[in-house]
Amino acid sequence: MSIDNALLEDASSSHRIYIGDSIGCLRVAQCDPPSALPKDYAGPSVKPLILPNFKSHSDHAVQRIASGVLGSDTYVVALARKNATIDVVHIVNQSLPSTSTAPAAVSELRANILCTINETKMKAGIHRFIGLAVSKHGVYSVTSSGIFRYTPITVAGNAAELGEAKVIDHLPSPLQHASFFPASDPTHFCYGGEDIPLSLWHIPTAVSEQPADSVADMSVESNKTEDLSGLNSKQRKRKRQLEAKSKARELVWGEVWRAKNLPNDNLSLPRRANITATCILNLEESTAEDAEAGATDEETFIAVGTKDGLVRIFQPGAGSRKHVREIRVVPSGQGAVKTLCASSAAMDGQKGGLLFVGDTGSKLYAVDWQSGSVVYAYKGAGQIGATLDMAVLPQPAKRSEAEALVTVSSDSLVRLHTTVPAERAVPKAGMSAEKGEVVWAKMIAEATSQSVHAVATAVVWDGVMLLKMGRRQVEGEDEVGEEEEDQVWAGMQEVNDKKVTNGKVGRDQEESTGDDDDDDEEEEEDEEDEPTEVVQSKAFNGQARRSKTSPANAKKSRK
């Protein structure tokens, strides 16, 4: 029988997630680590955060969600909506990721809209938000129409003032997905599309003013021509082709690296990039000078998912514009890659080293992107819709537990998954493979005749690490206090005395075989009239007899 009651709420020992849905509401839930959950747990309660003067509607559907800290102490959740607006919501009483104070309970959280950003160059219903991030000084957003916007925000008390936005409107379009790294206060972002190769940008450079001398040099070089009178037609054609390729490789201001187009197919026809999802696995800058110039280190890796079910790995710092690895994740002809999410330790196979891939069907895969193999797929989840968004819930570095994964899908359910690090997921000789499992699946809202059906569309972790972790209890379960525990042990002593009188203790019980069945029947009849404490004590007493210890010693070992 499943446990429908919620866990006794303890924000210090559980991860907090924020969820955006298809009618524009913001919801919050506490996700305990899988190792601390009881069996048959049905999932936590998902509570809505009331936004003042906000009316839910499908036009306000959340397309992207991001969290972060504005200034030094203002925790916000940004909601990019279908109607071309971004609501920056201040979460009151939410702990900051950088602090070690005990988090407030969900019941103490309050939300108010700090400010609203209007994307004037986006056509609502036609274009959509494909990337969103929060920095200390403002909000970054990218739309499918190729618009990058940085909006500075100054917070003063309970009010916020929007500064002059920096807009880059010359990105190629249509774009399918954009990713920021790190997730909070990012320094880089990347994007790609079905006809647009992967491109990596350095944000501080992109939002800064381009020096006038560099613009002049580019214009002089572009107007520079050569005398082609001495070349024949074939040489002139070859020259124009080389110039066109060289111009295509030119990086614009703020762009760090751009992938090369895929080679032509066997019919010499151009192949599309077919990018549907992006994810920056790891990014390291070489030096401070290189960081200012936007250069990247060889440890930078980016993954992209494609429309034909492939995952390609790029290494921008290696000096090559081609992908270094190609992995077939979704079987051919069975769907495309919908979303990607990297483990918190993407470079460490012992702690993580995984890339989680959701397809357009109902499958979720864990991929060891360094070896190029699909290590396991999640089964038995009962999922009937595509995974729309994912968030990794990491464990503190001192703990040996694996991280957890929370997903939202188009079947209106939020799910918590266990994970197995890449090193343990690959089976060794004579051993079976370890696989991740679905711990619980939960509807974001109870379906009633008067409620509007809502689908969870985006999810984000609040960034606060766990302060403690232990076995959790569920509301309705018996909490054994000191008094009740003493009664239990007293009952155990009473039952033990009875068994000693009947000669059923220790070795005598193991040697006697003929009368055990009759005695067991008598004990079962007695149990019907005995109180609950005594019945529970018999279970403890059986364990005490097997270990040949007294109830007092059994109590000590139990503690």
Burial of 184 (0-12, 13-18, 19+ CB in 10 A): middle
What are the tokens at 398? Answer: 């001192």
- Of 445, 461, 477, the last residue of a domain is 461
Torsions phi, psi for 91 (to 5 deg): -100, 110
Q: Name the amino acid, one letter, at 503.
A: G
Length of the chain as a residue count? 559
Give me the residues paired with residue 152 across strands: 138
Pair 314, 259: CB distance under 8 Å: yes
Give the strand order in the sheet containing 255-258: 177-181, 188-192, 199-202, 255-258
Using the structure block, give the residue that is written with the tokens 């077919």. Answer: 274
At 226 the pLDDT is 53
Same structural domain, 368 and 502: no
d(CA 301, CA 320): 12
d(CA 468, CA 472): 11
Same structural domain, 451 and 491: no
At 395 the pLDDT is 86
Same structural domain, 453 and 493: no
Same structural domain, 447 and 495: no
At 158 the pLDDT is 79
Q: Is residue 472 part of a domain?
A: no
At 382 the pLDDT is 78
Q: Name the amino acid, one letter, at 203.
A: I
Same structural domain, 257 and 314: yes
Residue 21 DSSP code: E
Same structural domain, 491 and 455: no
Strands (E) in 60-165, as ranges, are: 62-70, 74-81, 85-92, 110-118, 129-134, 138-143, 148-156, 159-162
The alpha carbon dihedral of 514, 520, 522, 523 has a sign of: positive
Rg (CA), the chain: 30
Same structural domain, 174 and 94: yes
Q: Is residue 32 part of a domain?
A: yes
CA triple 283-289-295, angle to 5 deg: 40
Q: How many domains does the chain have?
A: 2
At 434 the pLDDT is 85
Range of the domain at 529: 485-510+517-558
Give me the residues paired with residue 359 across strands: 337
Pair 499, 448: CB distance under 8 Å: no
The alpha carbon dihedral of 418, 422, 424, 427 has a sign of: positive
- Residues with Cβ < 8 Å from 451, sequence gap 6 or more? 445
Closest C-alpha to 348, from 304, 397, 305, 315: 397
Same structural domain, 281 and 327: yes
Using the structure block, give the residue that is written with the tokens 């986006």. Answer: 122
**Residue spans of the chain under pLDDT 50:** 1-6, 216-225, 287-288, 449, 478-486, 488-489, 499-501, 503-559
Torsions phi, psi for 368 (to 5 deg): -85, 95
Query: For residue 100, what is the domain's CATH number?
Result: 2.130.10.10
| Ramachandran bin of 146, using left for φ above 0, alpha for ψ from -120 to 50, beta for the remaining angles | left
Helix (H) or strand (E) holding 199: strand 199-202
Closest C-alpha to 462, from 112, 73, 68, 11: 68
Closest C-alpha to 438, from 344, 366, 360, 331: 366
The alpha carbon dihedral of 315, 319, 320, 325 has a sign of: negative
Q: Is residue 6 part of a domain?
A: no
Q: Is residue 473 part of a domain?
A: no
Q: Is residue 215 part of a domain?
A: no
Q: Is residue 223 part of a domain?
A: no
pTM of the predicted protein model: 0.79
At 54 the pLDDT is 92
SS3 content of the chain, % helix, strand, coil (to 5): 20, 30, 45
Helix (H) or strand (E) holding 405: strand 404-409
At 453 the pLDDT is 81
Looking only at the bridges linking them, the beta strands covering 85-92 and 110-118 are: antiparallel
Q: Is residue 2 part of a domain?
A: no
At 540 the pLDDT is 40
Same structural domain, 553 and 429: no
Q: Name the amino acid, one letter, at 369.
A: W
At 102 the pLDDT is 80
At 494 the pLDDT is 58
At 400 the pLDDT is 73
Same structural domain, 379 and 420: yes
Q: Is residue 371 part of a domain?
A: yes
Same structural domain, 22 and 115: yes
Same structural domain, 376 and 441: yes
